[in-house]
Structure 1
Amino acid sequence: MFTTPAVAAYAAAHTSPPDDLLADLAEETHRLVGDRISMQIAPEQGTLLTMLVRLSGARSAVEVGTFTGYSSICIARGLPADGRLIACDVSEEWTAVARRYWQKAGLDDRIELRLGPAADTLRAMPAGESIDFAFIDADKPGYPVYYEEILPRLRPGGLIAVDNTLQHGDITDPAAGGNVPAMREFNDLVARDSRVTSVLLTVADGLTLIRKN
């Protein structure tokens, strides 16, 4: 979204592609939601999530915003066999698709779906530093709440990845509406937070990586 189409296509062509299962899931999601397919992460983001989970050595992960399950599969694939991902979402309809693909991927034993408001799910989790990796990709005004609930539960050196932090490039437009003001507020919150080290990457619609100090 922040480069020419030719450069974006080149980058995608030189990134390890999704396998047939993820491609099938993306195709089914597209049939179900049409133009709202942007709610699903880009294939290169999925590859990056799997890589980040593996590189971090994460065993315990949390996802806020599951949709049809593409990102949860990518995260769970990066976990060891005894790893665990807690997937938080409010939609029974979309997560029913996710459940089918978790089973097809052989990952349903390491992904636990918790339906309900994610803030409530996170608050109900133990207060100790037990999370190694988290991914936030849900309602944008809720990002600060999810962040503040996850961070105290994240181990030192743990990683949070946050999606859509550039808002199609509109993040620098002071007149932009929609989710842009909420995302700008969240980005400022992270940037001034002395508890973490962060970098905002121009991957897909913007992906911020946040490491707990």
Structure 2
Amino acid sequence: MNRDQWSAVDHYFAQQLAPHDDVLDATQRSAAEAGLPDIAVAANQGKLLHLLARLVDARRILEIGTLGGYSTIWLARALPADGRVVTIEADPSHADVARRNIERAGLADRVDIRVGKALDVLPTLDSNPPVDLAFIDADKANNPHYVRWALDLARPGSVIVVDNVVRGGRVTDADSDDPSVRGTREAIELLRDEPRLDATALQTVGVKGYDGLAIALVTS
């Protein structure tokens, strides 16, 4: 198999189970036109986040790394009318693009965009009500810090998702000096060692190439 085949399968699954709509298509176009990096989740990955939020009956979602708001929209659509996504974006220009996309989606009342470095914003968040689902998709060097904050803000039964954990296979390199690899490895070790978490990680292939994600359940 090769990337063309992986991508074709992803497109098939997306067409069948996570078809694009006008809002999501416009979100992707606006991000591209604004020059944002092409690192948003794929459609089938967005649908996975949406389903996870529904499975835990989420009312409050934390997203670390907004980018253009594509994954934010998938998450916000899973919420009840009084639910809220708090999403953190370090780049003000990215946040502006996301804000316009979220307004176009009719979800501005369910999304609270916080602009700033996540490690500055996270201490300002309240754990009451707790976070039901956390999606971590920002700078990888700080992944262990983000996992700890997500756990502090969560409740038993909450789910924490960490994206991009494979690092092109380099996550296995214990001697790597790449901050993204080191941060990801530390996050995986935290998921392993933290007694309040039960976790696994999966490798994936598709339109985003070779990657993967970790999913953790808060048990206590």
* Aligned equivalent of 2:217: 211
Cα deviations by residue, 1:76-121 (Å, 9 ceiling, x for unpaired):
0111111011111122101111111111111000101111221222
**Cα deviation, residue 211, structure 1:** 0.7
The 5 A counterparts of 1:158-177 are 158-174=158-174, 177=177
- C-alpha separation between the residues in 1 aligned to 2:69 and 2:35? 14
Q: Where do 4+ consecutive residues of structure 1 move more than 6 Å?
A: none
Could you tell me whether the CA contact under 8 Å between 1:129 and 1:152 is conserved in 2?
A: no
Equivalent position of 1:6 in the other structure: 5
Structure 1 residue 59: Cα displacement:
0.3
Say if 1:68 and 1:50 are closer, same or farther in 2 by CA, change over 3 A: same
Q: What percentage of aligned pairs have identical amino acids?
A: 35
Higher RCO (CA-CA < 8 Å; seq separation 6+): 2
Instruction: Tell me the secondary structure at the aligned position of residue 126 of structure 1.
Output: coil
The Cα shift of 1:42 comes to: 1.8
Partner of 1:121: 121
One-letter code of the match for 1:132? Answer: D
Q: How many residues align?
A: 210
Output the CA distance in 2 between the equivalents of 1:92 and 1:18. 27
Taking the aligned partners of 2:8 and 2:56, their CA distance within structure 1 comes to 28
Letter of the 1:116 counterpart: G
Contact 2:59 2:79 in 1 (8 A): yes
In the aligned structure 1, how far is the partner of 2:29 from the partner of 2:128? Answer: 39
SS in 2 for 1:165: coil
User: How far is 1:123 from its partner?
Assistant: 1.2
| Secondary structure at the counterpart of residue 80 of structure 1 | coil
Q: In structure 1, what residue type is equivalent to 2:29? A: E
Q: 1:18-39 deviations in whole A, cap 9, x for unaligned?
A: 32221222123223337x312x
Q: Distance in 1 between matches of 2:94 and 2:32?
A: 12
Which consecutive residues of structure 1, in runs of 5 or more, have no partner in the other structure?
Answer: none
Alignment partner of 1:194 is 2:200 = no
8 Å contact 1:164–1:206 — kept in the other structure? yes
Instruction: Give distance in 2, aligned partners of 1:107 and 1:144.
Output: 30
Amino acid at match of 1:70: Y
Question: Which amino acid is 1:109 matched to?
Answer: D
Q: What is the distance in 2 between the residues matched to 1:175 and 1:24?
A: 42
Deviation at 1:41, TM superposition (A): 1.6
> What stretches of structure 2 of length at least 5 have no aligned partner?
none
CA distance in 2, matches of 1:127, 1:86: 12
1:75-94 pair list within 5 angstroms = 75-94=75-94
RMSD of aligned residue pairs (Cα, Å): 2.1
1:30 aligned residue:
32
1:173, 1:97 → 2: CA distance?
36
Q: Does 1:105 align with 2:111?
A: no
Amino acid in structure 1 at the alignment position of 2:61: A
- Aligned-partner residue type, residue 154 of structure 2: L
Q: TM-score normalized by structure 1? A: 0.89
| Structure 2 equivalent of residue 140 of structure 1 | 140
Give 3-state SS (helix, strand or coil) of 2:186's partner.
helix
Cα 1:128/1:166, change in 2 over 3 Å: same
Q: What is the alpha-carbon distance in structure 1 between the residues aligned to residue 175 and residue 149 of structure 2?
A: 30
Report the Cα offset of residue 173 of structure 1: 4.1
Counterpart of 1:63 in structure 2 is 63
Corresponding residue of 1:96: 96
Q: Distance in 2 between matches of 1:109 and 1:128?
A: 19
d(CA) in 1 for partners of 2:19, 2:85 = 23
